[in-house]
Amino acid sequence: MVAQYLFFLLAIVAVVAALGMLLSRNPVTSALWLILNLFCIAGLYLTLNAQFIAVIQVLVYAGAIMVLFLFVIMLLNLAALPALQMVDVKRGFAFILAMGVLAELAYIVARAVDALPAPVAVDAAVENGSAGTIAKVLFTQYAMPLELVGVLLLVATIGAVMFAKRRFA
Amino acid sequence: MDISWYLELSAVLFVIGVLGVLLRRNVIVILMSVEVMLNAVNLTLVSLSQSMGDPAGQVLVFFAMSVAAAEAAVGLAIVIALFRGKQTVDITQINLFKY
């Protein structure tokens, strides 16, 4: 019962924060709304008993990635872009397209939810979300992808440095 | 808690991310919208993984987060390089490949 109230609270705050990111004119305000959204998703992972992913979410997303975003925004010293003078046709079309995607996703979820197997018991879910279970799979069955992700992060670091040094026309 | 609520919530968050990519003009806000979309998909994966008792979904989320970190680093480096050349982050002004 408590988990149910917690889910609706976190879900409403997450959607409001995402809309705040979408609608605020200042990029710093957008980034702060996005940090609230990421923390809410970490809380939702906790309501699913996925402790390891919740901790990683706070560390990697709300910590590392958002610090990078805020650092770049403040480095570039951005002001808000001037507002559009009129609503153009392309934006209206984009809005209609996005609502179509939403309707399609909602329809698919509503259709597919009956085909799902019954959810496992709570203590099995707690066991499934613990760091030990994930580490056991990660370092045996998925050891090769793990090493490749390490190489990917190295390449991304070198690529980021090279791009930031280059000058575009 | 029924799993379909989590799936509907992630559909809503994904569409908010799509709207951010389509409607906003600031490149940094567009990158942040992409992060929202990635998070929506991660929420779907974790909820189904926990519902079915299979840790493989959470391993995939772990890899997706690593790739998202790399994507953010490279994307923001491209934004810095573009800003040094063009002095703007408005995507309507950035059209190097147009002609």
Place of tokens 């569409």: B15
pLDDT on residue B25: 85
Pick A137's closest partner by Cβ from B56, B61, B71: B56
Res B60: pLDDT:
95
Q: Residue A77, CB half-sphere, CA atoms under 13 Å: how many?
A: 2
Residues of B in contact with A15 (CB under 8 A): 9, 12-13, 16
Of A45, A49, A98, the CB nearest to B18: A98
Question: A56 is written with which tokens?
Answer: 């990683």
ipTM for this model = 0.91
Please return the burial class of B17, using the count of CB atoms within 10 Å of its CB with bins 0-12, 13-18 and 19+: buried
With CA atoms as reference, report the closest residue to A49 among A7, A5, A110.
A7
pLDDT of residue A168: 54
What is the C-alpha separation between B76 and B28, in angstroms, rounded?
8
Give me the amino acid identity at A132.
G
Q: Evaluate if residue B94 carries a pLDDT over 60.
A: yes
Map residue B93 onto helix, strand or coil. Answer: coil
- How distant, in Å, are the alpha carbons of A29, A40, A123, A129 from that of B9? 23, 12, 24, 20
Cα–Cα–Cα angle for A8, A97, B90, rounded to 5 degrees = 95
**Chain A 59-118, residues with CB within 8 Å of chain B CB atoms:** 60-61, 64-65, 68-69, 72-73, 75-76, 78, 81, 91, 94-95, 97-99, 101-102, 105-106, 109-110, 113, 116-117
For position A57, what pLDDT does the model report? 94
DSSP states along chain A:
-HHHHHHHHHHHHHHHHHHHHHH-SSHHHHHHHHHHHHHHHHHHHHHTT-HHHHHHIIIIIIIIIHHHHHHHHHHHTPPPPPPPSS--HHHHHHHHHHHHHHHHHHHHHHHHGGGSPPPPPHHHHHHHTSHHHHHHHHHHTTHHHHHHHHHHHHHHHHHHHHHHH----
Maximum Cα–Cα distance across chain B: 54
Quick one: which of A60, A58, A64, A29 has its CA closest to A44?
A: A58
* B81 vs A120, A142, A167: nearest CB: A167
Is B57's pLDDT higher than 60? Answer: yes
Interface of A with B in 35-54 (CB under 8 A): 37-38, 41, 44-45, 47-50, 52-53
Q: What is the mean pLDDT of each run of 10 residues along chain A (169 residues)?
A: 88 96 90 95 93 94 90 80 69 89 90 82 86 93 94 93 71
Is residue B77 over pLDDT 80? yes
Residue B18: pLDDT band (50, 70, 90) is: very high
Distance between A43 CA and the closest CA of chain B, angstroms: 11
pLDDT reported for residue B99: 61
- Determine the pLDDT at residue A145: 94
Contact between chains at B6 and A44 (C-beta distance less than 8 A): yes
Note whether A26 contacts B: Cβ–Cβ < 8 A.
no
CA distance A32 to A106: 28
Residues β-bridged to residue A26: none
Say what the pLDDT of residue A47 is: 92
Across the A/B interface, how many CB contacts are shorter than 8 Å?
225
Separation in Å, CA of A67 to nearest CA in chain B:
11
What's the pLDDT score for residue A19?
95
Confidence at residue A83, expressed as pLDDT on a 0 to 100 scale: 66
Confidence of residue B10 (pLDDT cuts 50, 70, 90): very high
Mean pLDDT (whole number) for B53-69: 93
Kindly list the residues from chain B whose CB atom is less than 8 angstroms away from the CB atom of residue A60: 65-66, 68-69
pLDDT value at residue A86: 60
Query: How far apart, in whole angstroms, are the C-alpha atoms of residue A24 and residue B42?
Result: 25
Give the domains, in start order, of chain B with CATH numbers. Answer: 3-86 (1.10.287.3510)
* Residue in B9, B78, B89 nearest the CB of A11: B9
Of B20, B69, B86, the CB nearest to A60: B69
Q: How far out from the chain centre does Cα B54 lie?
A: 25
Q: Provide the pLDDT for residue A122.
A: 84
pLDDT of residue B24: 87
Residue A14 is predicted with a pLDDT of: 96
Which pLDDT does position A84 carry in this prediction?
A: 63
